Structure 1
């Protein structure tokens, strides 16, 4: 095969190298933290896909040997999960390896993987010219989901995979979960049959904590009382650390239908049993901060503030690639302390002096500092200036949207003119 033919064949592959997964270096580094957390979940049935995406991220970070090792690990894991030596679940993996060896200049090895992809596609063809193989739909859906891409596209790919291969319980579970999540972010009545779909999925996948928690949330949306079921779900503390997303969903149920304080008590119990699981520390820290900053009608107890500060200091060392977020969170807690309020301003001043390079990081920092100035320093003028700084960065983000909403609420003639002249954000 000529070099031109090889390039054309590579570009036609369905794999991470052709899915237009473009992210900044800081985001890729933060994703490696997330990958590590998910890879340590006991019995994670998406582990092969985790290693595939992790390998691609390592390649994008310039760590080619680590990428190759992770791609090999992905193949071994996928085969082990499927209890077979080869199958269509390897199409994406072989495509990744073909691209990696191509970039490394090992064209013979790249060609060998292209031949393996051809052999798999011949043995396991797509059901039609317009459709992908269900294994590809499932992995593409999982990848887009993990990266926080288009939720409706994630739902569509999972639905196609589950419809083509209905015996794959994981795919059906993921389809129903993301159908629910998509509704949370769009039309709450998008699918009138959602509750029944969730009930059926729960019967097929009864150990999935995330699915059960979302099912209870959907019951509550339809005016059902769920307090007893939520408490029962939290009954076996020793089993609750198995799922990052499951614990997150369960604690959200506690906050919504029992109390924020009970959610913290539960999170601390689980952390006590699994003290070495770092994502649990992150969850516990998050809920302390949320309780202190957003749910305190009066000054929170100093012991609670001290515990939150200790946890957030630990997070800064546990998650070095997320230190900016963790430090701004720490500052917001210091601002609620009776004895250390000045430390909040010190942290923000240090972070502003270093001025992060990434536009999205600037938006987060400026937005959080603006809120600190407004709520904790009563400096409305400077708060407005920092919200304007956020809005002026043409990058689509939650923080830009939040700052614009605040500016619109408090606008005068100067702000009106500023908002009229804003650039549209990059997609």
Structure 2
């Protein structure tokens, strides 16, 4: 490889607008099932969108070390552009040519890389920029690519579509892209988007069944479920095999409470995507939801209910294990499975899956949820209250308001009240921690003082007699007598660090005048 040519390419390549310069996976690893999903889109999407998917597939192939396969995908993209966008073939090919240049560069084929750089330059020089231009077609290509990559890419996808729509405000393709991006960002409380972009996208693209189901989900959230269900039924009738339609329709029915219909749709989607771990996870979660429905129903006889629950639990475990085998890397997939195994009495295996979940890279929300679930497991299945308390406290230290946080507060409060009734050591200290996390520092201080008083009363050296009135010392003696008379069960033994507590007391004494 000529150093001069290599150096010149290294300066030019970062200027090209293509997948290699969009930093698609800079902050997060590539999704395990991205290639399967892209291939599925190529099978079911309209021809005009297939070139975009072939470009993305080429990039994924390159990341997997399959450069020859990547080149074949780019050839497919180039052919489709010529067929579907003949009038704009040069502009529409800029991303493909940029990808060609990068792939050939990584293969060490400098002359071929230079050939495609020259093709880009030939088009761009007409617009006063040698290697890059601003146009809605390129912004749209980037937007659709980022949408398919998902996760942290949705915000940037929205920006791309908004920019492109400034030039082409009524473009159906761009309007659909913006509506999808906004829908995906809608889960964030600070970004509640209106329903209008979805409605406008459907007006411009009435045959886009996926956007139709997204509108249905949005209407469901707005308590307009009947209208949403009408849209879902229409979409399923017109696109009975399109996997993104099936997946989203299944979510609609699961939220509605029609779990059987949701399972049916997820299973139909999995026929087209047999290696998709996400679908297996969703099916497993649906079976778990079905278990809760039956347990809460009074219409089934007790023995029939037990048999049905056990059957459904086996199905849920099967699909959750299958999801992990297929490579899904969601932390809650591990904890979902662990919870079901614990219900089956398989605590050792459940523990292993919980530890796998803790070993993953977790967001604060995921970590908080995991501490709550694992605390539950320790409290109710392992009968280890001390470990449960530790995890509830760790979960509460994550300052995210969530249903899990409220559950942990209630569970800790229940444990603390139970311990107070049994005069268990550190029960006042635990009450103090709960008040502190609620921001009630005065109540917390009072609880800490009571715990300190208990420690002084129970000190073998009798040092408490120097600081406490006789009535409190007598009360402490009675507590100690009751404690010796009634041994604590193993499940309530505390694993608090006693040396730390002694240091607290000693430090308090040393600071007194």
- The alpha-carbon deviation at position 221 of structure 1 amounts to 5.1
Contact 2:216 2:227 in 1 (8 A): no
Cα deviation digits, residues 134-166 of structure 1 (max 9, x gap)? 122112222333232253332121122233234
- What TM-score comes out, normalization by structure 2 length? 0.62
Say whether residues 1:341 and 2:345 are aligned partners.
Answer: yes
Tell me the equivalent position of 1:288.
Answer: 287
- What TM-score comes out, normalization by structure 1 length? 0.73
Say whether residues 1:54 and 2:54 are aligned partners.
Answer: no
**Aligned equivalents of 1:4, 1:249: Cα separation in 2:** 48
Greater RCO between the two (CA within 8 Å, min separation 6)? 1
- The alpha-carbon deviation at position 118 of structure 1 amounts to 1.4
Tell me the equivalent position of 2:338.
Answer: 331
Cα deviation digits, residues 269-306 of structure 1 (max 9, x gap)? 67369745435555433433455479965887233223
Secondary structure of 1:254's partner? helix
Unaligned runs of 5+ in 2: 298-305, 413-428, 438-513
Secondary structure of 1:113's partner? helix
- The alpha-carbon deviation at position 214 of structure 1 amounts to 2.7
Contact 1:176 1:198 in 2 (8 A): yes
Contact 1:219 1:226 in 2 (8 A): yes
- The alpha-carbon deviation at position 222 of structure 1 amounts to 5.0
Larger Rg: 2
Contact 2:35 2:57 in 1 (8 A): yes
Say whether residues 1:64 and 2:67 are aligned partners.
Answer: yes
Cα separation, partners in 2 of 1:226 and 1:360, compared to 1, 3 Å: closer
Secondary structure of 2:206's partner? coil
Range moving further from structure 2, 51-60 or 7-16:
51-60
Contact 1:173 1:211 in 2 (8 A): yes
Cα separation, partners in 2 of 1:43 and 1:307, compared to 1, 3 Å: farther
Say whether residues 1:311 and 2:319 are aligned partners.
Answer: yes
**Count of matched residue positions in the alignment of Structure 1 and Structure 2:** 397
Cα separation, partners in 2 of 1:76 and 1:117, compared to 1, 3 Å: same
Tell me the equivalent position of 2:421.
Answer: none
1:23-102 pair list within 5 angstroms: 23=26, 27-43=30-46, 46-82=49-85, 86-102=89-105
**Aligned equivalents of 2:219, 2:165: Cα separation in 1:** 24
**Aligned equivalents of 2:215, 2:364: Cα separation in 1:** 37
Tell me the equivalent position of 2:387.
Answer: 382
Contact 1:363 1:390 in 2 (8 A): no
**Aligned equivalents of 1:387, 1:71: Cα separation in 2:** 52
Cα deviation digits, residues 106-127 of structure 1 (max 9, x gap)? 111111110111123245779x
Secondary structure of 1:120's partner? helix
- The alpha-carbon deviation at position 231 of structure 1 amounts to 4.9
Tell me the equivalent position of 1:264.
Answer: 260
Unaligned runs of 5+ in 1: 393-397, 418-427
Tell me the equivalent position of 2:244.
Answer: 245
Say whether residues 1:215 and 2:215 are aligned partners.
Answer: yes
Q: CA RMSD in A?
A: 4.5
**Aligned equivalents of 2:47, 2:337: Cα separation in 1:** 31
